Structure 1
Amino acid sequence: MIKKWIEAARPRTLPTSVSPVIAASAYAWYLDTFNGYTASICIVFALLAQIASNFGNDYFDYKKGSDRADRVGPRRAVASGDIPAKIMLKATCIVLSLACITGCLLIPSGGWELIIAGIFIAIFALAYSAGPYPLSYHGLGDVTVFIFFGLIAVNLSFYVQALHFESVVFYCSIAMGLLSVNILMVNNYRDKETDEISNKKTLVVIFGRKFAERIYLLNGIIALLITGTIWFTNGIYGYIAALLYLSIHLQTWSRLLKKKGTELNPILGETARNQLVFTLLLVLVLVIDKISES
């Protein structure tokens, strides 16, 4: 049973919640405002919020009929009968409550205004798949992921440590948002036919697979360029790191073009891995630059 719950949490996609916090904390350290306790709370909150969203997605997609036992994507707990629907709904509420409680630990650092941000995060974690106008069913899933796994995740994680915003961190939040969108793009690329049957209007359903292929490629390149002040102004090691990430991104993109159906499932994990690689390379360049200046 534990294995079934781990699978329902979708561990291969969890780097998309951790990476923004790591990136934000690296900038905080680089700018001498790092707070280890606050950063740790941000990571726990981000993980719990994403797991709650994944559980909710599992439940509500089943209720709407878009997840079936014969789906080409990874096994879904409720649709496959591994976890009863009512139990999954309770688990969604419990994990989301834990995320809210964890988020409250940030109030002493960031102020009571964080409650507003927390409420929005909790609402959209469910509104992604639930409610009268589920965002993922109306072409807004990618926008939601970009905002909450990019702009909000990075900037707020930095703010609760530094108590101010920085333009360079904002650019990083755009990069993280684009890389997070790529994970969803692979998922929807794989599920295009079943989403059409379920009337789930993702961007891939609306604009087609060729559109998704181009966006996937561009998102990785733009993420690199928009954080160029890190890669291209810190010596040869910055260029090496940038080229390393670009080669990995291009390799995954080329594999995406050649796969279909269940063959795309590993590409989903590779895309999440690429975001984490991007983040760790960024951290490495920041650390080297900081040490070289001291």
Structure 2
Amino acid sequence: MEVNTSPFIKPDKGWKIWWQLMRPHTLTAAFVPVFLGTALAVAYTSLRIDLFLAMLIACLLIQAATNMFNEYFDYVRGLDTEKSVGIGGAIVRNGVQPRTVLTMGFSFFAIALLLGIYICANTTWWIAVVGIICMAAGYFYTGGPVPIAYTPFGELTAGFFMGFVIILLSFYIQTGFVSNSSILISVPISILVGSILLANNIRDLDGDKENGRKTLAILVGRQRAIQMLAGMFIVSFAWVAALVVFEVGSPWLLLTFLSIPKAVRATKGFIGKTLPIQMMPAMKATAQTNTIFGLLLSIGICLGYLL
């Protein structure tokens, strides 16, 4: 397969390709947890905007770098072709040099590391340990001899690191501790972050199966995977209702229920579909559910404190 020998691409469409390379629809999995963790801290302390921005940018860079490693290793393993569906494939379709993509990924990691040093200098150096583990998870998601993306643990890994860990880190750097309520409120977002990966794996099920992957969607089958996706949505909303019933959060958390139609649309969008292109709207709706749910949850938390 031939690839453009130039490390650059045509200026007239360059910015669009670089933007697509970052896979912007996945970036919600990075900024929503940071917003939520920071919103949870409002009740305990005056926010430090510098730490919030450093955390936000670092997480976005780590997510973007993870996407670039995904792009690179999918190309190296022959998973991406010119006929691949989705916004990936900058190497095979747009002539971006593989080494350029890999270098950009590590460059983003380096900037995130510098931001992490700033955060540690203002909080605790134990944050560095957690940050390095998160970066390693991002790299080994598609890199290394046994990529996480090739196993049934992709959703769990994404939900844990991009949901649970980021929320608690964002809360901790503002307050200096972790509360029981912050742990409990992090659960539904962690589930929804994992749902984004599950939706992606449902779409790519046939191609992944041909290439030897053993994703959760492959192991349980398409229909059960769709049922699992619906179940993840249901558990997320039920969890919020339980938080209100047991007075862990205020009734304002029920604002998240406004995102139910988007979750329904995401689930229905997969039913009866077998072609990847047919499932793209459902994938988009899944990511949007996480975004809308997370932002409404953050707003609900702030309103509960203020009113």
TM interval, shorter chain, is over 0.9
The alignment status of 1:245 with 2:256, answered yes or no, reads no
What residue number does 1:226 align with? 239
1:11-33 Cα offsets, whole Å, 9 max, x none, are: 11111100000011111113335
Which piece of structure 1 moves more, 258-267 or 52-61?
258-267
Paired with 2:117 and 2:292, the residues of 1 have a C-alpha distance of 30
Structure 1 counterpart of 2:278, one-letter code: E
Q: Is the 8 A contact 1:16 1:180 kept in 2?
A: yes
What residue number does 2:141 align with? 128
TM-score, normalised relative to structure 1:
0.92
Structure 2 counterpart of 1:283, one-letter code: S
1:178-206 Cα offsets, whole Å, 9 max, x none, are: 10111111111011111011112111111
- Give 5+ residue unaligned stretches, structure 2: 1-13
What residue number does 1:254 align with? 268
TM-score, normalised relative to structure 2:
0.89
Q: Is the 8 A contact 2:251 2:304 kept in 1?
A: no
Distance 1:82 1:172, change over 3 A: farther
Paired with 1:246 and 1:269, the residues of 2 have a C-alpha distance of 15
Structure 1 counterpart of 2:304, one-letter code: D
Q: Could you say what secondary structure the match of 1:34 adopts?
A: coil
Q: Could you say what secondary structure the match of 1:227 adopts?
A: helix
Distance 1:279 1:242, change over 3 A: closer
Q: Is the 8 A contact 2:45 2:174 kept in 1?
A: no
What residue number does 1:291 align with? 306
Paired with 1:28 and 1:34, the residues of 2 have a C-alpha distance of 7
The alignment status of 1:44 with 2:45, answered yes or no, reads no
Paired with 2:151 and 2:284, the residues of 1 have a C-alpha distance of 25
Which piece of structure 1 moves more, 219-228 or 45-54?
219-228
The alignment status of 1:217 with 2:217, answered yes or no, reads no
Structure 2 counterpart of 1:210, one-letter code: Q
The alignment status of 1:281 with 2:285, answered yes or no, reads no
Structure 2 counterpart of 1:43, one-letter code: L
Which piece of structure 1 moves more, 140-149 or 13-22?
140-149
Question: Identity, % of aligned pairs?
Answer: 24
Distance 1:173 1:235, change over 3 A: closer
The alignment status of 1:169 with 2:149, answered yes or no, reads no
Instruction: Give the alignment of 1:1-294 within 5 angstroms.
Output: 1-228=14-241, 231-232=244-245, 238-239=253-254, 241-260=255-274, 261-292=276-307
Paired with 1:173 and 1:237, the residues of 2 have a C-alpha distance of 16
Q: Is the 8 A contact 2:71 2:89 kept in 1?
A: yes
**Shift, 1:177, TM fit:** 1.4
Structure 2 counterpart of 1:61, one-letter code: D
Q: Is the 8 A contact 2:21 2:68 kept in 1?
A: yes
Paired with 1:236 and 1:144, the residues of 2 have a C-alpha distance of 30
1:214-255 Cα offsets, whole Å, 9 max, x none, are: 22112122222323365555776554x243222331232122
**Shift, 1:154, TM fit:** 0.7
Paired with 2:51 and 2:242, the residues of 1 have a C-alpha distance of 26
**Shift, 1:258, TM fit:** 4.2
Q: Is the 8 A contact 2:209 2:218 kept in 1?
A: yes
Paired with 1:151 and 1:237, the residues of 2 have a C-alpha distance of 21
Q: Could you say what secondary structure the match of 2:76 adopts?
A: helix
**Shift, 1:107, TM fit:** 0.5
Paired with 1:5 and 1:165, the residues of 2 have a C-alpha distance of 37
Q: What is the Cα-based RMSD across aligned positions, in Å?
A: 1.9
Q: Is the 8 A contact 1:179 1:223 kept in 2?
A: yes
Q: Is the 8 A contact 2:17 2:94 kept in 1?
A: no
Structure 2 counterpart of 1:104, one-letter code: I
Q: Could you say what secondary structure the match of 1:32 adopts?
A: coil
Paired with 1:285 and 1:81, the residues of 2 have a C-alpha distance of 43
Which piece of structure 1 moves more, 256-265 or 124-133?
256-265
Q: Is the 8 A contact 1:255 1:267 kept in 2?
A: yes
Q: Is the 8 A contact 1:9 1:54 kept in 2?
A: yes
Q: How many residues align?
A: 291
**Shift, 1:123, TM fit:** 1.3
